[in-house]
Structures are given as C-alpha cells and as structure tokens.
Chain A
Amino acid sequence: MKLKKLLAAFLAAALCISLVSCGETDSGSSTPESSAESSVSETSDTESSATEESSSEDTAAEDPTAVLTDAKIGVQLGTTGDLYISENIADGLLGSAEIIQYNKGMEAVLALTQGKVDAVVIDNEPAKVFVEENEGLKILDTAYTEEDYAICIAKDNTELKDQFNQAIAELKEDGTLQQLLDYYINGVEGATPYESPEGITYDGKLIMATNAEFPPYEYHDSSSGQDEICGLDVDFARAICDKLGKELEVSDMAFDSIIAAVQSGKADFGAAGMTVTEDRLESIDFTDSYCTGVQVVIVKE
C-alpha cells in the first residue's frame, strides 16, 4: 500500500518535472534572442570605446573581435581557431568570452544552430559548406585571421622534406596546384581533379596522416559507390608522391593525433589543412606552404 503511494508521488513528480521542462523550452528558445540583444548592445559599447575606424552599428556587428567579445565561442579541438581563441582569451583580448572545444567542427556548428554557443571560429572552406548545409547561419565578411597551410614531416626526416619542397615547387610551376585550387576551392567550371599519369610504376609507399572531416581539403566521398577519402590535400599529396615515384596511402585519424603519428613514424607525413604555428614548429617540421587558409567566424543570422 505504502509502495503504491510512493510510486504515485514519484510519477506525479516526474510529470511536474516534464511539464516544467516543456515550459523551459519556450523560455529557452527566447533566451538566445535576449542574449543576442545584450551582446549587440555590449559590442556597440566596446566599439564606441575601443575601436577607432568603425562608427556605424553595421560594421560593429561585422567586426569579428567585437562579435566574439564576451561570447561563448565554439571551436574544433586542436585547430588553429582553437589555438588563437584560447590564446586571445588568456590574454584578456575577448573580455569574459568562453571557449568550448568540440571534437568535430560539425558538432560546434550544431551547437551554434541550437544556441549552445554564440559563434564558431573555423577555417573558411569547411565554414562555407556548413553554412550552405544549415539555414540561418552566416559567415562574417571580415576574416578572423589568415594563415599558411603546409605539410608536416618529422624533424629528423630532412631528406623527405627536401624532396617534398622540390616537388611542391615543380607542381606550383607546372600549374597542377592551381588546377587543384580551381577545382576544389575557387569552383572554376571545367577544372578537373588530379589524376595520376598513366603507366606510372611505384617503388614503395608513403603514408599520409589526415583527418578526413575537413571539406574541401579532405573528406569522405562515397558518390562513386565505395567510400574513399578525397580532397585538395589528398590530390596534392598524390601528385607529390607520383613525382617521388611512391604510392600514396591515406590514414584517417583525429586531427590532434596527426602530429604525434608523424613524429612516431606511424605516418610519413601529415596533410590536413594544417597551419604553420610556432607551437607546432617546436615538435615538427613543415614543408613550404601550398595555400592560404582563413579563419572565419560563423554566427546566426
């Protein structure tokens, strides 16, 4: 008898909790708006006090630093966006901003659409894809930072690095790199991806470490019926390996494992839209840069 009463009370409590949470859903959906309002007012404050050149409110909303100040910022763990934002927060440049590191860029964007973060800082190219796929998101016109992408090679493997640098120079010269940039990034009509020259024979293979969740640099593609990793980096690496007469093998892993894999010799080199930074140069060597990446800010419209 007592147990029944207890259960009845328990059920009633569960009902109340679910009702309350339903009510919260309404208030929850209104919270992002109010917080957006407050952040706008704060950005105009900082603008009037700090920034010199911009005066109209439109430019203030477009200024990445103003948008990011005191905001909740989502990033992908270990990417340059993560490094820059963490550093800037530690230096006190972004007020009381808070950084939330997700394991995947996609999850950070998902959190943004759900209002769990106010902005996402990520590379330009994947950002374009994310914004295309999700309605109600936009990329700020002004980039947050610009950076050089390069291939990483273990510090003691200078021979391979020299070979790579020479191959990269040749590929820049003969227009192969431009062809790939046109195809993958600029979207030029009629541009084609890289194809190995016919009748090429390989002597050994090179393993490339990458994180195939970073379109259009590297991503999984199953449009041909079977799952394969393709993208600018993969094609470019294949072109380099063809020059060296080696077969390319792609190894997909978490982004923050790539450098460790190259260091330990599990992979010969890493190519994953990787930016050359001081921190990384302490643990690994980079080839010459092959393209420029831009860190942009995604916000809700």
Chain B
Amino acid sequence: MQDFLINQWNNFTNSFYRNFIEDSRWTYLTSGLINTLLITLGALVVGVVLGFAIAMIRTTHDRTGKLGFLNAIAKLYLTVIRGTPVVVQLMIIYFGIFASVQINAVLVAIIAFGLNSAAYVAEIFRSGIMSIDPGQMEAGRSLGLNYSQTTWKIIMPQALKNVLPALGNEMITLLKETSVAGYIGLRDLTKGGDLIRSRTFAAFMPLLAVAAVYLILVLGLQYLVGKMERRLGKSDRR
C-alpha cells in the first residue's frame, strides 16, 4: 500500500515536472493568461459600450417609436451575431475582413469577441431598461424633466442595478469564450495548455491546470460582481 502511494506520488511529481517545470513550460500558461486577460478586458469594454448604444437605440424605439432605421440595423446586427458561432465570426474577421491588413491577432480577437459580446450585452441592458415601470418615466416627465434627463437620472440607475447579475454572467461567459482565440494562431490560456500537451503528450495535467486557472479567474469575477451588487443594494428596502 505504502509502495503504491509512493509510486503514485513519484508519478505525479514526474509528470508535474515534465509538464510545467522542464524547459520552463509554465511560461506558456502565464503568457497565455496575459493574452486571455487582455482579450477579455478589451472585449468587455467594446461589448459594454457598443451593447449599451444598441440597447439605447432599441429601447428608445420601443418606448417612443423614433429611430426606426437604426433599430432595424440593430436588429439585423443582433440576428447575425447571435445566430452564428463566435469561432466562425473570429475566423471570418481574421482571415476574411482583415485578410490584407497586417494587424495584431490580439486586437482581432478583441474586436471579434467585443462585437459578439455587444449583441448579448445589448439584450441584457434592454431587458433591464424595459423592466422599469413606465410609470417612472411618466412621473419624471410630469415633474418637468425631459426624456433624456428622465432616462439618465431615473430609469438608468434602477435598470443598471437590475442587470448587474446578468451582466456578470455575460462577463464570465466572455472570459471562457475567449478560449477559442487559439484558432487564429495567438496564444491564449487554452492554447498555452495545448502547447504543453503538444510537447509532453500528456493530456491530464495541462488541461487540469488550464481549467483551474479559468476557475480562479471566474471566482475572482464572481467576488467582484457580488461586491458591486451588495454596494448598489444598500438602498434597497427589505
């Protein structure tokens, strides 16, 4: 029994050494992690800004009937982006749209994931804004505020609080979706694990390490979102 355990332990340490220490293979993971974080953060910014703009167009159209043309474009955008897989979009952007342009692969990934995320964020924001009772708008207007003042000062603060959990969810999804970025030849965290696998031909340990790093990142995100929710929920009646 003891021999068996010692043997297992030796196997484990050997495998650990081969997969991470030898030839400093752990650097594949760290450099991949940096790219993953860069892509996620960049895509998050693009997604939230663009998604918010689309949500504003859609809700303004729904509430007031204005901006019909822009609304049609936004709807088309949502249909196309939500109707196709993100890997395909990524490759179309890298090998198709930026075919003749020399552009950093990380930037391509930020654009692709940002555009993709924007479609989902737009619907999240829209659901949040539409969830606010129309009476709030009426009350604001009858107090003498104009449409945009009411939107920004009365509707938005309430809507943002409502969408925060869904937005956090989208952030987590986005982080994990970036794992396909390796398709365009850049090294993200998953590709870092693949690189180790292609060198050591061991499947278990590199994949487990990659999974653990993603899990830790998501736990961190969850903590931040939870903290923000608590902070924004201070004024709630309960």
**A residues with CB within 8 A of B:** 1-3, 7, 10, 21, 24-25, 28-29, 31-32, 74, 77-78, 82-83, 90, 100-103, 107-108, 110-111, 114-116, 256-257, 259-260, 263-264, 279-280, 282-284
Contacts and interface: CB of A to CB of B under 8 A. Distances in A.
Contacts of A260: 197, 201-203
Interface stretch (B34-42, B99-107, B120-128, B225-233): B99-107
A283 B196 CA distance: 14
A257 B199 CA distance: 11
B60 A3 contact: yes
Nearest to B204: A260
A28 to B, nearest CB: 4
B100 A28 contact: yes
A101 B191 CA distance: 9
B222 interface: no
The list of the 10 closest CB pairs from A to B, nearest first, reads A78-B198, A259-B201, A256-B198, A28-B101, A260-B203, A283-B201, A100-B185, A102-B185, A114-B99, A2-B148
Contacts of A115: 100, 102
A283 B200 contact: yes
A283 B102 CA distance: 39
B183 A25 contact: no
B189 to A, nearest CB: 14
Interface in B150-192: 182-183, 185-187, 191
B99 to A, nearest CB: 5
Q: Number of contact residues on B: which range applies?
A: 20 to 34
Nearest to B151: A3
B102 A101 contact: no
A114 B100 contact: yes
Interface in B94-120: 95, 99-102
Contact of A24 (B101, B182, B187, B201): B101
Contacts of A282: 18
Contact of B101 (A21, A90, A111): A21
22 contacts: A1-B148, A2-B148, A3-B56, A7-B57, A7-B70, A25-B101, A74-B185, A77-B198, A82-B198, A101-B198, A103-B183, A111-B185, A114-B99, A115-B100, A116-B102, A116-B185, A257-B203, A259-B201, A263-B201, A282-B18, A283-B201, A284-B201
A contact patch SS: helix
A256 B148 contact: no
A107 B182 CA distance: 12
B53 A10 contact: yes
A31 B102 contact: yes
Contacts of B183: 103, 107
Contacts of B203: 257, 260, 264
Contact of B182 (A1, A3, A103): A103
Contacts of B18: 282
Given A24-B101, A78-B194, 6 more contacts: A1-B148, A7-B57, A101-B191, A259-B201, A279-B199, A283-B201
Contacts of A2: 148
Contact of A3 (B23, B148, B198): B148
Contacts of B187: 101
Contacts of B145: none
A264 B201 CA distance: 11
Given A21-B101, A114-B100, A115-B102, A107 B185 contact: yes
Interface string B189-217: 00100110111111100000000000000
A72 to B, nearest CB: 10
Contacts of A25: 100-101
Nearest to B60: A3
**Residue among B95, B102, B197 with most chain A CB within 10 A:** B102
Nearest to B53: A10
Nearest to B101: A28
A227 B148 CA distance: 60
A118 B1 CA distance: 57
